[in-house]
Amino acid sequence: MVRLDEVRARVEADYAGLGMPTWPDPHPDAAPPRDEEYSRLTRPGRYAIVHARARAWTGALTSLLGAVAEPLTPAPLDDGVHPHRFDRGVRISAPRPGTLPLLLLEHDTPLPALHISVVRPTAQLQMLPDCGCDACDRGSDDLLEAVDLTIGTVVGGPSVVLRGQGWDAHWHPDGGSTHSGVHHIDHRHLMDLCRRLSAGDTPPLPTGTEAFVGRSWLD
């Protein structure tokens, strides 16, 4: 049986051979950013490390778990009137039934970023980096760890994603998150719904809610 830490070790080993840039946290010891850093974007090309990390994950998942990776053509990333689009991507499906397909989607401008989704591009779990300005920079190690942790919640499972009108929720055994543009949402209630769905229950969901429930990719 392949463990998640073994997959991560392969990812780290393959990534290490790529010679990608590294940089320290410019705000050590939780030092507050300077005002001018919020409007500054230094060397945006370095954020291509998230693309390289995603490709290392694709290689590890296909070689170690027998997953199938299908290239994706550019498509919208959201349901807005003027949606953003990704430039290239891959849909990775595990051979184990009941798992959620993982989508690793890259875009290049205004800076390289990685969108991590399940099932379809609009069911997004995370965008990394989430900003890119110098004020929000926490160094390359922190950024790569965020990529690994987000992908790991899907691969390690179980994982539940809820999507409603203007809000979404993502739950996994180690935690969860909720996001809302304009609507008030009850984080605890949504996390409870996710836990119940993961356990095989069928709780009533808010009207119009989509639910994606996946088990671990690992045996």
pLDDT at 108: 95
Kindly state the average pLDDT of the residues 181-209: 93
Q: Is the pLDDT of residue 138 over 80?
A: yes
Domain ranges across the chain: 4-21+42-214
Please classify residue 23 by burial: count the beta carbons closer than 10 Å to its beta carbon, then call 0-12 exposed, 13-18 middle and 19+ buried: middle
Q: Which of 25-34, 61-70, 122-131, 179-188 has the highest mean pLDDT?
A: 61-70
Q: Hey, how many other C-beta atoms are within 10 angstroms of the C-beta on 155?
A: 25
> Which residues in the chain belong to E strands, given as ranges?
68-72, 88-93, 102-107, 113-118, 124-128, 159-164, 167-172, 175-180, 210-214
| 26 cis-preceded (ω within 30 degrees of 0) | no
Q: Is the pLDDT of residue 152 over 60?
A: yes
State the Cα–Cα distance between residues 85 and 126, nearest whole angstrom: 15
Q: In this predicted model, what pLDDT tens digit does every residue of 58-90 receive, in sequence order?
A: 999 999 999 999 999 999 888 765 578 999 999
